A and B are shown apart, each in its own frame.
Chain A
Amino acid sequence: MDAALRELSYAQAIQEAMAIAMDMDERVFLMGEDIGVYGGAFQVTGDLVERYGTDRVIDTPISELGGAGVAVGAAVTGMRPIFEFQFSDFATLGMEQIVNQAAKMRFMLGGEVSVPVVMRFPAGSGTGAAAQHSQSLEAWLGHVPGLKVIQPATPHDAKGMLLAAVADPDPVMIFEHKLLYKMKGHVPEGHYTVPIGKAEIRREGRDLTIVATSIMVQKALDAAAALEGEGIDIEVVDLRTIRPIDRQTVIDSVKKTSRLLCVYEAVKTLGIGAEVSAMVAESEAFDYLDAPIVRLGGAETPIPYNPDLEKATVPQVPDIITAARDLVKGVR
């Protein structure tokens, strides 16, 4: 294989980013539950503790609230912590420190401090872990001014966006879909960053814009490939950041294709799909629309255990194909 096209898994890409960040800056350290010798619940930290020692790869007690607060306090006083929540669902236990402290401290103190903390959240369904270990809560945090919230969808972006997050002076929340951890893709060697706040057009097309996040980007690309044979030409926008959202890329794409489908795993209502839809409806792109905006999101239910029920809870490729085809053919 060409060395220039070296492939890593999404998990390996994150691990490499954390190692590079620690090599570049002695203030960077890792905190979280079972991230040391265990290697993290999803083996993302892996053997980093052997390379960087227990002073920089710190196993915390099972104390999400306290742990998040310690990370915030360390960040405010000169360190650059990367805090891993074992599952994104456990953000609920640390919410006070994330929402009331990390997000607001700079503002409340009139700009006298910055809070350069990175928090990582393994998220999403598909692992049979049922209702308390499978949620997609990114929109909760996306609602909070002061936070930046990102959802890298590829190994390349997972590394580049984590390195951008570590360099960022403000709190950055990274939602990593657990089913992406084993996804392989091209990851350049060494240090590079992928900017926070910039969406990426993954596939250009004329007939329909699909705005997707996280694991739904690949599903949207699969759906687009399947519809190519039917003469339907789909543009796929990987949103990548939900706060601050890249308004212009989405609006420009919809102006080009005149149709919008939002695809995301989180519960459909009151989520990122509503935001993207409203953003387009409020913009000049509204006049270009040839069809109603459609959202495909998670069902209005907790994530069930049974694998068939679990799959039925979130959009799958056939759902996207049907919705896209109907939209382009004017069925809806």
Chain B
Amino acid sequence: MAGASKAAVVDSRANLPFVYRQYSPEQLREVLHKMYLIRRFEEGAEECYTRGLIHGTMHLSIGQEASAMGICMPLAADDQITSTHRGHGHCIAKGAEVSRMFAEFFGKTTGYCKGRGGSMHIADVAKGNLGANGIVAGGIPIAVGAALSSKMMKTGKVVVSFFGDGANNEGAFHEALNMAAIWKLPVIFVCENNGYGMSTSTARSTAVKNIAERAAAYSMPGIIVNGNIFSEVAEASFKAVERARAGEGPTLIESKTYRHRGHSKSDRNRYRTKEEIEDWMANRDPITLFETELRDFGFIDDQGIQAIRDAVAKEIADGIEFAKASPAPEIATLQNYVYTEQA
């Protein structure tokens, strides 16, 4: 980038949305890169599943990339998250390598869980991702426990608990929010409301119009953001992280978004219309929205975008090759990791 145009970008930032003032152009281009990485990872996983290379099931987060990236943007490397069955995006956003994620989906020893967890239990403990979870709301109390550790051990870590709209009607959600509030723990509850708990819409399942309203019952801020606009999500997360780190307690963020794909691989999409899905894809795609902003504000040009797309395509192809070439676990190791190996 030429010196003059770079200065122009910097000068004009004062009037731009939050992230354009808070983060460098390099950081924001990296966000676009990661959003593409999530999207292409999901598409790659879906293709491998369709071709019979991956078994089981999976829950794709296509359409929710800005939510995962926005929430994780202000987190430090040693901050922690708990994730959900729709957790591939969270995992990448917190810093995981797609090669080891693919390897896990292929059930290989080089996978993050050595082939024991698969899609629904993908984790990257070294990067602070304590794991996806097959139980709706299962990770929420665990996140509160991690936040209790942070407070007791004075590590300064902030913990984010991702969950979907379905989790807001589980008892664990309510019990966990209450405890986080009474103990003022450094935890952020992030409800990614994609409108449907499997097939049941929030209108049919949930007594409040907005899940963020639940926060009032636990005396914490309840923030609603457009989960498809990266800057909105990141700004809310930034404030919640500041609040948590200052010892002021938890925040509930409701990130309103949409999943382009079905709940899982068994979904026949009988509970929503084709028009609804197409509207979200055509008019509110989080990657298109962010990419357009970046281009309009002069942070990236078409060439830069293409370079990101090409790089991501290579990462995905390499990742799948790595997974294919990796060794499968020996049957003799079946009982490993049930208990901690002791000398």
Interface residues of A (CB under 8 A from B): 27, 29, 55, 60-61, 63, 65-79, 81, 96-97, 100-101, 105-114, 145-146, 148, 169-170
Bound: A196/B133 CA distance, A: 30
* Known A-B contacts A108-B131, A109-B131; A76 and B142 likewise in contact (beta carbons under 8 Å): yes
B116 within 8 A of A: yes
State which of B117-125, B239-247, B251-259 sits at the interface with chain A. Answer: B117-125
State whether A101 touches B135 (Cβ < 8 A). yes
Nearest Cβ distance between residue A95 and chain B, in whole angstroms?
11
State whether A114 touches B117 (Cβ < 8 A). no
The interface residues of chain A lying within 8 Å CB-to-CB of B149 are 73-74, 77-79
Nearest Cβ distance between residue A74 and chain B, in whole angstroms?
4
State whether B113 touches A109 (Cβ < 8 A). yes
Bound: A78/B78 CA distance, A: 14
23 A-B residue contacts at CB 8 Å?
A55-B152, A63-B178, A67-B141, A68-B141, A69-B140, A69-B175, A73-B130, A73-B142, A76-B130, A76-B142, A76-B145, A77-B146, A79-B148, A79-B152, A79-B153, A81-B145, A110-B113, A110-B114, A111-B114, A111-B340, A112-B112, A146-B339, A170-B339
Nearest Cβ distance between residue B68 and chain A, in whole angstroms?
20
State whether A67 touches B111 (Cβ < 8 A). no
State whether B340 touches A170 (Cβ < 8 A). yes
State whether B113 touches A112 (Cβ < 8 A). yes
10 closest A-B pairs by beta carbon, nearest first, are A73-B145, A69-B141, A66-B175, A110-B114, A73-B142, A110-B113, A169-B340, A63-B175, A111-B337, A77-B149
Bound: A168/B153 CA distance, A: 20
Instruction: Specify which of B111, B138, B339 is in contact with A110 (CB 8 Å cutoff).
Output: B111
Bound: A74/B149 CA distance, A: 5
Bound: A68/B141 CA distance, A: 8
State whether A109 touches B178 (Cβ < 8 A). no
State whether A70 touches B148 (Cβ < 8 A). yes
Instruction: Specify which of B115, B172, B337 is in contact with A66 (CB 8 Å cutoff).
Output: B172
Instruction: Specify which of B125, B148, B174, B338 is in contact with A112 (CB 8 Å cutoff).
Output: B125
The interface residues of chain B lying within 8 Å CB-to-CB of A110 are 111-117, 337
The interface residues of chain A lying within 8 Å CB-to-CB of B123 are 108-109, 112
Q: Which residue, of A55, A61, A74, has the highest number of chain B Cβ atoms within 10 A?
A: A74
Instruction: Specify which of A74, A106, A170 is in contact with B145 (CB 8 Å cutoff).
Output: A74
| A-facing residues in B151-185 (Cβ within 8 Å) | 152-153, 171-172, 174-176, 178-179, 182
Nearest Cβ distance between residue A266 and chain B, in whole angstroms?
24
State whether B152 touches A29 (Cβ < 8 A). yes
Instruction: Specify which of B111, B121, B133, B175 is in contact with A65 (CB 8 Å cutoff).
Output: B175
Instruction: Specify which of B82, B116, B146, B340 is in contact with A74 (CB 8 Å cutoff).
Output: B146
Q: Which residue, of B133, B138, B145, B148, has the highest number of chain A Cβ atoms within 10 A?
A: B145
Q: Which residue of A lies closest to B116 (CB)?
A: A110
The interface residues of chain A lying within 8 Å CB-to-CB of B130 are 73, 76-77, 113
The interface residues of chain A lying within 8 Å CB-to-CB of B340 are 106, 111, 114, 169-170
Bound: A55/B149 CA distance, A: 12
Q: Which residue of A lies closest to B336 (CB)?
A: A111
Bound: A114/B176 CA distance, A: 22
B15 within 8 A of A: no
State whether A66 touches B176 (Cβ < 8 A). yes
The interface residues of chain A lying within 8 Å CB-to-CB of B191 are none
Nearest Cβ distance between residue A153 and chain B, in whole angstroms?
24
Instruction: Specify which of B82, B125, B135, B152 is in contact with A100 (CB 8 Å cutoff).
Output: B135
Bound: A124/B342 CA distance, A: 32
Bound: A74/B153 CA distance, A: 10
The interface residues of chain A lying within 8 Å CB-to-CB of B145 are 69-77, 81
Nearest Cβ distance between residue B292 and chain A, in whole angstroms?
38
The interface residues of chain B lying within 8 Å CB-to-CB of A148 are 339
Bound: A73/B141 CA distance, A: 7
Q: Which residue of A lies closest to B340 (CB)?
A: A169
Nearest Cβ distance between residue B228 and chain A, in whole angstroms?
30
B150 within 8 A of A: yes
Q: Which residue, of A66, A74, A100, has the highest number of chain B Cβ atoms within 10 A?
A: A66
